[in-house]
Chain A
Amino acid sequence: MENLEALLHGFTIALSGNHIFLMVIGVLLGILVGVLPGLGAPNGVSLLLPLTFGMQPVSAIILLSCMYWGALFGGSVTSILFNIPGEPSSVATTFDGYPMARDGRPTTALATAFGSAAFGALAGVVLITLSASWVAKVALAFGPPEYFAVYFLAFASFVGMGGSPPVKTLVSLAIGFALAAVGIDTVSGSVRLTMGIDELVKGVNFVVAVMGLFGIGELLIAVEDEFHVKAISSRVEWREVFRTLIHLPRYGWTLLRSAAIGCWMGITPGGPTAASFMSYGIAKRLSSRRANFGKGEPEGIVAPETADHAAGTSALLPMLALGIPGSATAAVMMGGLMIWGLNPGPMLFIEQKDFVWGLIASMYLGNVVAVILVLLTVPIFAALMRVPFFIIAPLIVIICTVGAYSVSNSYLDVVLMMGFGIVGYLFKKLHYPLAPMVLAIVIGDKAEDAFRQSMLMSRGSLGIFFGNTLVTTLVLMGTALLVLPVIWQTMKKIATRSR
Chain B
Amino acid sequence: MMVSGRSLEAGTALLTGAFGAAVVVSSLDNGIGWSAAGVESGTFPFIFGLVILAGSVFNLVQGWLHARAVVLGRNELKRLGILFVPAAVYVGIIPLIGIYFASAGYVFGALAWHKRGSFLLPAVAAIGAALALYLIFELTFQISLPRGLFGDFIGF
Contact = CB atoms under 8 A, between A and B. Distances in A.
B141 A178 contact: no
A411 B82 contact: no
A395 B45 CA distance: 36
Contacts of A39: 141, 143
A418 B16 CA distance: 16
Interface in B84-131: 84, 86-88, 90-91, 94-95, 99, 103, 106-107, 110-111, 114, 125, 129
Contact of A178 (B23, B103, B136, B146): B23
Main secondary structure of the interface of B (DSSP, over half): helix
Interface stretch (A327-335, A350-358, A378-386, A399-407): A399-407
Contacts of A174: 20, 48-49, 51-52, 55
Interface string A418-445: 1000010011011010000000000000
B34 interface: yes
B144 A178 contact: no
Interface string B32-74: 0010011111101100110110011011001100000010100
Contacts of A44: 141
B30 interface: yes
Nearest to A406: B143
A192 B27 contact: yes
A192 B29 CA distance: 8
A195 interface: yes
A36 B136 contact: yes
Given A171-B51, A178-B48, A187-B38, A398 B103 contact: yes
B4 interface: no
Main secondary structure of the interface of A (DSSP, over half): helix
Contact of A167 (B22, B58, B91, B99): B58
Contacts of A237: none
A483 interface: no
A395 B132 CA distance: 12
Q: Indicate the size class of the contact surface on chain A.
A: 35 or more
Given A39-B141, A177-B48, A192-B41, A390 B55 contact: no
A463 interface: no
B34 A460 contact: yes
B52 A192 contact: no
A178 B76 contact: no
A430 B8 contact: yes
B41 A187 contact: yes
Interface in A202-259: 216, 219-220, 223-224, 226
Contacts of B11: 426
A398 B26 CA distance: 33
A415 interface: yes
B149 interface: no
A288 interface: no
Contacts of A418: 87-88, 91
Contacts of B70: 429-430
A414 B45 contact: no
Contacts of B12: 426-427, 430, 432
Contacts of B72: 224
A429 to B, nearest CB: 7
A168 B23 CA distance: 18
Among A33, A188, A460, the most chain B Cβ lie within 10 Å of the Cβ of: A188
B92 to A, nearest CB: 9
Given A174-B55, A397-B87, A405-B146, A452 B38 contact: yes
B131 to A, nearest CB: 13
Interface in A156-175: 165, 167-168, 170-171, 174-175
Given A192-B30, A406-B145, A426-B8, A393 B83 contact: yes
6 contacts: A39-B143, A171-B59, A175-B19, A178-B20, A223-B80, A405-B145
Given A393-B83, A430-B8, 11 more contacts: A171-B16, A178-B49, A193-B27, A226-B79, A409-B143, A411-B146, A415-B91, A418-B88, A423-B15, A426-B8, A426-B15
Interface of B: 8-9, 11-12, 15-16, 19-20, 22-23, 26-27, 30, 34, 37-42, 44-45, 48-49, 51-52, 55-56, 58-59, 62-63, 70, 72, 76, 79-80, 82-84, 86-88, 90-91, 94-95, 99, 103, 106-107, 110-111, 114, 125, 129, 133, 136-137, 141-146
